[in-house]
Amino acid sequence: MSTDLTTPAGPNTGTGSTADDLEAVFRRVLEREDVTADSDFFDLGGDSLVATRVLSAVARTHGVELTFDDFLLAPTPARLAHRIATTA
């Protein structure tokens, strides 16, 4: 598993929805497949260190810088996608 960190931050130009992207990010950083749109990051073994990797991925892909506290309030792919949509 590797992450292309050379891609500059910018708006999402992919075809999937933001929630789909975030599910993939959760899978990658949590190293587990059983992630759905409503999976709680912390129930799946995520902690604050791994959460920052999600926030980094969100900043790279969606151009939105969220805080750790933002993530605590929206710890599922669906809710985080909503948060990004309302911030961007």
Residue 51: CB atoms within 10 Å: 18
What residue type is 48 in one-letter code?
Answer: S
Q: Nearer to another protein by C-beta: 31 or 86?
A: 31
| Residue 26: Cβ-neighbour burial (10 angstroms; 0-12, 13-18, 19+) | buried
Q: How far is the CB of 16 from another protein (least distance, A)?
A: 20
Site for another protein in 26-85 (CB under 8 A): 29, 31, 45, 47-57, 59, 65-68, 71
Dist. CA 13–CA 77, nearest whole Å: 18
Q: How far is the CB of 52 from another protein (least distance, A)?
A: 3
List residues binding another protein (CB under 8 A): 1-3, 5, 29, 31, 45, 47-57, 59, 65-68, 71
